[in-house]
Amino acid sequence: MSHKYSAILSNVGSCADRFLTSGYSHPFSVSELFARVVQIPQISGVELIGNWHITENNVKEIKNHLDEHQLQLVSIIPDHFGQMKWKYGSFAAKDPAIRAEAIAHTKEMIDAAAELEGNLISLWPGQDGYDYLFQADYIQERDWFAEGIKEVCEYRPDMQISLEYKIKEPRTHSYLSSAAVSLLIAKEIGTNNIGVTIDFGHALNAYETPAESVALLKRYGDKLFHVHMNDNFRHWDDDMIVGSVHTIETLEFFYWLKRTGYQGWLSIDQYPYREDSLEAVREGVNAMEAFTRMVDRIPSADFDNLIREGKSPTITAYLRNLLLT
C-alpha cells in the first residue's frame, strides 16, 4: 500500500524544554520551516499549529506557502496548550470565558482549514486535566469538555475533528488519556466527523500496544482519523525518531494499519531537541517508508498465520529471520 507522509511544521525547527526555554537550536521563521520541510522528498503535506504557525489573520500567507511548495494542508492543530490563558485547561477549564475561547479559537481554525482545503482538525487539549488530587470535579469538567467538543464537531460537519489522546504532560493527568477514553467521548458526541488521532508514542505511554489501538479504533466505529509517528522509551513522551527504539511494535503497527485499511496520513511528530531537526524528520520519514515496504513485501498470509496460531516461539523465529538475517 502507499501511504501519504507529512510532518508537523515545527518538527523541522528548534525545540525547547523547561531547562532551556530559548531552544536547543536557533529559531526558524515559518517561511524557513516551509523551505526546510520540502527538502524531504516523500513529504506532500504539513500540519500547522494554531498561533505558532497559523492565525485567522495569516491564512493568505499560509496559502501562499502551501501553494509555492505544493504541499497539502494535512491538519490544523488548534492552540489549546501554548498560551498562559490555557494553564487551567481549555474545553474543560473552570472559567467559562476560557471554555468559550477554546471553542471560538477552534472554530477559527476550522474555518482556516476549510479555506486552505484541509479536511482535518487534530485536537490536542493537553491542558485539560489536573495536576493534584482533590483539584478537579471529574464529572463536571468532563461534561464541559464534551460540550465543547460537541459544539466544534457540529460547527462544520464536513470537517473531521480528531482527538489526540495522551495520558499526561503537560498536566500530571489528562482527561483525554487513552484510545478507549477517546472512543467513549466520540460515542457520546455521536457525529460522523469525530474520530481519534493515534500518536504512536502516546499509545506506548498509556501501556497500549499501538497495533492494538489501531484495531480498537477500527472495531468501535472505524474511528482512526489520523496518525502521529515517533518513538520513546515507554515511560515518557520522548518524541524520538520513528523506529529508533521499538522495531517490532512499529512493524506490527504498520501491519495493522494495512490490515484495517487505513487511508489517512502518516505524520511525523518528533521533538528533535539536539538533532539537526531536518535530518531527524527526514530519517523519521525514511523509517516510515521502510516499515511500509517491509509490510508490503511480506505475504499477508504470513502474519495472518502467526496471529491465527498465536505461538510465540514461531512468531519470534519468524521475526528473527525477518530482522536479523
Of 41, 57, 60, 133, the one binding a second copy (CB under 8 A) is 133
Please say whether the beta carbons of 164 and 176 come within 8 A. yes
Among 84, 96, 97, 158, binds a second copy (CB under 8 A): 84
Cβ atoms within 10 A of the Cβ of 232, count? Answer: 19
- Binder to a second copy among 2, 29, 57, 312 (CB under 8 A)? 312
* Cα–Cα dist 93/311, whole Å: 48
Q: Determine if 46 is a binding residue for a second copy (CB under 8 A).
A: no
Q: Which residues contact 5 (CB under 8 A, 6 or more apart)?
A: 42, 43, 44, 45, 265, 266, 267, 268, 285, 288, 289
Residue ranges in 160-199 that form contacts with a second copy under rule CB under 8 A: 167-170, 172-173, 177-178, 180-181, 183-184, 187-188
Distance in Å, CB of 214 to a second copy, minimum: 8
Number of residues that bind a second copy (CB under 8 A): 107
Least distance from C-beta 87 to a second copy, angstroms? 5
SS3 5: strand
- By CB under 8 A, the residues from 141 to 160 that bind a second copy are 142-143
Q: Among 30-38, 58-66, 105-113, 217-225, which window interacts with a second copy (CB under 8 A)?
A: 217-225
Choose, by CB under 8 A, the member of 38, 59, 114, 215 that binds a second copy. Answer: 215
CA 71 centroid distance within chain: 18
Q: Does 126 engage in binding with a second copy (CB under 8 A)?
A: yes
Q: Contacting a second copy (CB under 8 A), which of 59, 114, 290, 298?
A: 290
DSSP code per residue over 134-151: T---HHHHHHHHHHHHHH
Which residues from 235-264 bind a second copy, rule CB under 8 A?
235-236, 238, 240-241, 243-245, 247-249, 252, 255-256, 260
Residue 47 to residue 265: CA distance in whole angstroms: 10
Binding residue (CB under 8 A) for a second copy from 1, 100, 104, 317: 317
Cα–Cα distance, 173 to 190 (Å, whole number): 25
Q: What is the DSSP letter of 42?
A: T
User: For the chain, what is the radius of gyration of the CA atoms?
Assistant: 19
